[in-house]
Structure 1
Amino acid sequence: MLAGAGAAIGLQVAHRSVAAGVAQHSNFTADPLGRLRRTLQYIFAVVLPEAQPARSMVTDWVARAHQPVEGMLDGAQYSAADPDTQRWVTATLYWTAEEIRWRIWGHQQPEDAEQIYRSYAVLGTALGMPETSWPHNRAAFYRYWQQQVAKLEVTAAARQIMSDLFAARSAPWWLRTLMPQAKFLTAGLLPADIRSKLGLDWNGEHSRREDRLWRILRNTYPRLPNGVRQSPARFVVAGLPSAPEH
């Protein structure tokens, strides 16, 4: 999930309405760690059983934060409550997670893949996306995905958002030192056309370097103890608010 965060953001802002909303209402480039923490809190509170006591509180936070996110910028109308926008954002989270999972673990049994796919719908429905908006199976999802990617329109606002993200001017020094690698991972995961339009460089040497990186990760990450692999999720869940006592 962390490895795919930059690609998910790039795909989201390549959607013109999302880019407009982010440009007008988000401060994630001023507080990237805070934005990442809040995003992970939302995801884990929605999907992890051990975080369920905080689910309603966290979804309420996000819903309130999204209420004022609507308007018009450079001819693009946007609203965080728009079901099509919610579906696209949810789709980017699923697609990037699957890209990472496939690179590390390889192919899954079809029934397992479908179950994982269906579980992602809750990331959108928890904020009001109609359940019927989520494509009913993976085949339908990839038809939707190809159609949407073909229609993406990368704007100047989207390019500025990505430039600010990787510059990380307000981030701690240690996070800034990680940004070149994050930018590289992001560029490698993105579809080539979107990568180019976002102004991210890529060539044959980059491809060879990426192949070496994923080969190393594929041979090491699955061998790590579960406690190590799950430590980021445990850290985020530990910071979630407790449900109020009655």
Structure 2
Amino acid sequence: MVSLTAVRDGLGRSLFGLIAGPDGPANRARIHEAPGPRWFSPDRPIRRVHGDASMFVGGLRALLLQSLHPLAMAGVAQHSDYRGDPWGRLQRTSTFLAVTTYGTATDAQRAVDQVRGIHRRVHGTTADGIPYAASDPHLLEWVHIAEIDSFLLAHQRYGAKPLDQHGRDGYVADAARIASALGVENPPTTEAELAQRIQSYRPELRGTREARDAARFLLLTPPLPLVARGPYAALSAAAVGMLPPWARLPLRLPYFPPAEATAVKWTGQTLVGGIRWAMNAR
């Protein structure tokens, strides 16, 4: 008879392999065990947020929100193989977050330099003839604030230990350290500044065909085995449930406040709790 511990270990390995890739165990050991100073001490809020299972929901919400900027979405559509290799993209992103959050300062800077090198090669023109460049500080800021807003909101709703106001401001300030290294100019350093900055970008946001195609792919047709589609649907509902109405309409996503405040939230908490239970075995 298979023990509960064996089930937990197997599920934890599967989830970790999905987000970290085949080199995940080796990378994890190097990131956490390599000697040297870190950008963030063990007591910093960024370590609590980025180490929680709520990141699964926050990451999906971040991708949906980021897609609303036509220039950011054009860069993804024209230069990213997110359809052909979505898990590879997830693994690269999760590794970058892990290295910059928990790795040595030297490794963190090396990871940032690699991303900046990639950004310099990502440029083009939208279908409307508007030029874009991934290294543009204004575009970098949108990607950053959409991501941090999503991670923080997911942690407050689904995290094991939500942050108080001081902790939330600390998280935004910690994330600003990474954003500045990536080329963002004057990133927000408090939760209030983050909300104001999100608001300031709203006139630039709209739902392009590429954004709606990406949303459909992310929410409805990701390459998953049949057994994983039910839990993923719950994860997707939780991510959509955290988007404000102004972000859903351009992406043609549903809005059902009563259900989202009850059934969707409860299901999301149950699912994230299950992921946390499995991942803590790692």
TM-score, normalised by the number of residues in structure 2: 0.69
Root mean square deviation, CA, Å: 2.8
| 1:138–1:186 Cα change, 3 Å | closer
Q: How far apart, CA to CA, are the structure 1 residues paired with 2:280 and 2:69?
A: 32
In 2: Cα distance, 1:5 partner to 1:111 partner: 23
Q: Name the aligned partner's letter for residue 80 of structure 1.
A: A
- Deviation for aligned residue 1:147: 2.4
**Match for 2:144 among 84, 90, 93?**
90
Distance 1:200 1:77 in 2: 28
Q: What pairs up with 1:18-57 in 2 under 5 angstroms?
A: 18-49=72-103, 52=105, 54-57=107-110
Match in the other structure for 1:63: 116
Compared with structure 1, are the counterparts of its residues 175 and 192 closer, same or farther at alpha carbon in structure 2 (3 Å cutoff)? farther
Residue 10 of structure 1 aligns to a residue whose secondary structure is helix
Letter in 1 for 2:247: I
Q: In 2 relative to 1, CA 140–157 (structure 1 residues): closer, same or farther, beyond 3 Å?
A: same
Q: 1:192 maps to what in 2? A: 245
- Whole-angstrom CA distance in 2 between matches of 1:100 and 1:121: 18
Task: Tell me how many residue pairs correspond in the alignment.
Answer: 224
Give 2:196's aligned amino acid. Answer: R
One of 174, 183, 202 as aligned partner of 1:119: 174
1:179: how far off? 3.8
Q: Tell me the distance in 1 between the aligned counterparts of 2:124 and 2:279.
A: 43
Deviations 1:41-80 (A, max 9, x none): 111111114x545324432332232222112112233211
Q: Kindly tell me: are residues 65 and 215 of structure 1, through their superposed partners in 2, closer, same or farther at Cα, counting changes over 3 Å?
A: closer
Q: C-alpha separation between the residues in 2 aligned to 1:89 and 1:230?
A: 32
User: % of aligned pairs identical?
Assistant: 23
What is the Cα deviation at residue 161 of structure 1?
A: 1.5
Structure 1 runs not aligned, ≥5 long: 232-246
Deviations 1:181-227 (A, max 9, x none): 33212211111121122122233564232132245468x579x67x9
Q: Distance in 2 between matches of 1:63 and 1:44?
A: 17
1:77 and 2:131 correspond: yes
Query: What is the CA–CA distance in structure 1 between the aligned matches of 2:187 and 2:83, rounded to whole Å?
Result: 30
> Per the alignment, in what secondary structure is the counterpart of residue 56 of structure 2?
coil
Compare relative contact order (CA 8 Å, sep 6+) and give the higher one, 1 or 2: 1
Q: Relative to structure 1, is the Cα distance of residues 82 and 173 closer, same or farther in structure 2, using a 3 angstrom cutoff? A: same
Asked whether 1:155 is paired with 2:211, we answer: no
- Deviation readout 1:162-193 (Å, 9 max, x if unpaired): 22233445x34268625423321221111112
**Alignment partner of 2:153 out of 79, 90, 99:** 99
Please list every run of 5 or more consecutive structure 2 residues that lacks an aligned counterpart in the other structure: 1-54
Displacement of 1:108 after TM fit?
A: 3.3
AA matched with 2:209? A
Q: Which residue of 1 aligns with 2:225?
A: 173
CA distance in 2, matches of 1:60, 1:87: 17
Task: Tell me, yes or no, if structure 1 residue 12 matches structure 2 residue 66.
Answer: yes
1:129 aligns with 2:181: no
Q: How far off its partner does 1:155 sit?
A: 0.9
Could you say which residue in structure 2 is the equivalent of 1:110?
Answer: 165
Give the distance between the partners of 1:4 and 1:180, measured in 2 at CA. 14
Cα distance, 1:38 vs structure 2: 0.3
Change in 2 beyond 3 A, CA 1:143/1:175:
farther
Give the distance between the partners of 2:178 and 2:226, measured in 1 at CA: 30
Aligned-residue offset at 1:19: 0.9
Q: State whether residues 29 and 168 of structure 1, in contact with CA within 8 Å, keep that contact through their aligned partners in structure 2.
A: no
